[in-house]
Structure 1
Amino acid sequence: MKNVAIIMGGYSSEYKISLTSGNVVYQNLNPSKYKGYRVHILKDKWVYVADDASEYPIDKSDFSVTVKGSKVIFDVVFNAIHGTPGEDGLLQAYFELLQLPQTSCDYYQAALTFNKRDTLSVLKPYGIKTATSHYLNLGDDIPVDTILEKVGLPCFVKPNKSGSSFGITKVHAKTDFLPAIETAFKEDNEVIIESFLDGIEVSVGVISYKGETKVLPITEIVSENDFFDYEAKYLGKSQEITPARLSKEVQEKVEAVAKKAYEVLKMKGFSRSEFILVNGEPHMLEMNTVPGLTNESILPQQAREAGISLAELFENAIEEVVQ
């Protein structure tokens, strides 16, 4: 029986979604193989939360917990934290120092992929297409006309490092451009401005499965809103069609690009990459390394379509990293 710390919460706007993901992992772990512990990692406390809601503080020196006088040592950490510090490399580095296996990618890959513009810059030389973009840091001059001449309208203004579409605006008119930048800077001190890609949006899960890189069935995103924003993602304002309605040729092209990105970046564990298909050509937007794991989330939908249950998906993630 392995002791599994399921870490959830985090320090970002995504903490509520992460708590839901973490609870789904907890509910779906095979009880004959694993003893799951829900560990809330929040700005003001790191605690193990028992089934009766009582809390026990985590000892950060070795990531253990003492419950009713008995010290619990974890065999593995299941990472369900979206955003910082679980998706940006901070906890990955901490667990590596403690030599404690964890289910997501290594710290460098996490830090890199959490930074949208750096990820795309690294992948570009490998022939992976992206939108035309312009980068801003807090305090930079903002030459509005020059930027809009480069990216065109409509365009997207995004925080460089945030998830769940927090802080993203689709800008249709020049007058809305500076307010959109202000909104993005509320989430991060770096902003990425991207040209609007007119095409089909798809989401592609790529995971390590039984020692191999596995591309899961592709999901097509049809948003009722102007783009795949928070409402569309979590409040039912979108259709997520798995498998996507693509020709075999386009499907194979998307799968090849998604797999290439995963392998070029030396990824491990779960990943979910977003693409826009423009005339059948995949243009990459970003890669998430701790994607949503709720029953409604895209990656679990894709796993189900591939014949992999949640219990199998989570067990595989653990077995991939525990020797």
Structure 2
Amino acid sequence: MKKNIAIIMGGYSNEFPISIKSGSVVTKHLSNDRFITYPIVVTKESWYYNDENQVAHEIDKNDFSLKLQNERIHFDCVFNAIHGSPGEDGLLQAYFSLMQIPQTSCAYYQAALTFNKRDFLSTIKPYGINCATSYFLNYGDTVNEHEIIDKVGLPCFVKANKAGSSFGISKVYKSEKLKAAINKAFDEDDEIIIESFLDGTEISVGVITYQGKVKVLPITEVVSDNDFFDYEAKYQGKSQEITPARITDIQWQNAEKTAKKVYEVLKMEGYTRSEFIFIGDEPFMLEMNTTPGLTEESILPQQAQAAGISLSELFESAIDEALKNFNA
């Protein structure tokens, strides 16, 4: 019997259009023989499904069900393709946990933790994971520019603490530019993180649970045409994403080991894509994404295909794992 699958996309953040693209690709590649798919757009105003006539039908949030032609549709599983809030920060994961509906991403605690860059890095450091030197600011704090530069040095990165797709991020070379970068980051979030610049090869490492086992995908080297891997580099072709990465065997082994360790230490499920920069042979962790981009051009699907995993196999495995974990 075919299973009803809700593919949620959109969300509340600036990553809305990127998420719509990811959700559309997932919908396209899921098997019609196994699943009946329902693309669900999530906005702050409404959660809805557009039928074949582009008529919007509201989701009943009391039980996450859908009424079509006098039929009440309940979902066997939710495929989470929302980047940013509320799909990557734990809010929807907690909601679906309460609704007792399986979903494909990690649990709500892991999502909330990894979405908060400061808490995530503070959690993994005691496990021996290398990270950049960092300085934290909350909105309203006194900004001591000399103290910040003394700790992290120049150049440095100023980032919104809870934002994706490089929104609110600046690379600062001169002290007189620091305040403007801080204000830009505060436009995205009321918490920011300022990190030392790491000068080395940048890589992206996908780790997934596939056919019941934790699997590290082939590593991607990221070479930005811009000064760093910003929004243009990620989504407007201003970068090279080279899979497999042009790194040494020892670098590859160290990156695989570290990415898998973090995945297992945090008891992750579903997909993750982690970013690192090498200092010598040692990978320094920047962040972990738990609902990474899923278009044909996105890094994780590229890595899966390099591993011989088709997009259909990649997406359907996530549903199979979610159903298996829910029924365990």
TM-score of the superposed pair, with normalisation by structure 1: 0.99
1:131 & 1:55 partners in 2: Cα distance? 46
1:173 & 1:234 partners in 2: Cα distance? 28
Provide, for residues 11-68 of structure 1, a one-character-per-residue CA deviation record: whole Å limited to 9, x for no partner. Answer: 0000100000000000000100011100001011110122332210000000000011
Match of 1:107 in 2: 108
Match of 2:245 in 1: 244
Match of 1:13 in 2: 14
Match of 1:293 in 2: 294
1:210 & 1:305 partners in 2: Cα distance? 17
Gaps of 5+ in 1: none
Match of 1:233 in 2: 234
8 A contact 1:159–1:168 mirrored in 2 = yes
Match of 2:179 in 1: 178
Structure 1 segments, 4+ long, off by >3 Å, are none
Match of 1:268 in 2: 269
Gaps of 5+ in 2: none
8 A contact 1:38–1:50 mirrored in 2 = no
Q: Which amino acid aligns with 1:206?
A: V
CA drift of 1:249 comes to 1.2
8 A contact 1:274–1:285 mirrored in 2 = yes
1:43 & 1:321 partners in 2: Cα distance? 26
Within 5 Å, give how 1:1-323 maps onto structure 2.
1-323=2-324
- TM-align CA RMSD: 0.6
CA drift of 1:69 comes to 1.2
User: Secondary structure at 1:221's aligned position in 2?
Assistant: strand
2:91 & 2:187 partners in 1: Cα distance? 21
Provide, for residues 233-286 of structure 1, a one-character-per-residue CA deviation record: whole Å limited to 9, x for no partner. Answer: 000000000000011111011000000010011100000000000111100000
Q: Which amino acid aligns with 2:265?
A: V
1:52 & 1:132 partners in 2: Cα distance? 53
1:285 & 1:49 partners in 2: Cα distance? 38
CA drift of 1:75 comes to 0.3
8 A contact 1:158–1:191 mirrored in 2 = yes
CA drift of 1:166 comes to 0.4
Of all paired residues, the percent bearing the same amino acid is 62
8 A contact 1:29–1:311 mirrored in 2 = yes
2:284 & 2:53 partners in 1: Cα distance? 47
Q: Which amino acid aligns with 1:67?
A: L
8 A contact 1:24–1:293 mirrored in 2 = yes
Q: Which amino acid aligns with 1:267?
A: M
2:214 & 2:314 partners in 1: Cα distance? 14
CA drift of 1:8 comes to 0.2
2:36 & 2:179 partners in 1: Cα distance? 50
Provide, for residues 265-314 of structure 1, a one-character-per-residue CA deviation record: whole Å limited to 9, x for no partner. Answer: 11000000000001111000000000000110000000000000000000
User: Secondary structure at 2:84's aligned position in 1?
Assistant: coil
2:125 & 2:221 partners in 1: Cα distance? 24
Q: Which amino acid aligns with 1:40?
A: V
TM-score of the superposed pair, with normalisation by structure 2: 0.98
Q: Which amino acid aligns with 1:147?
A: I
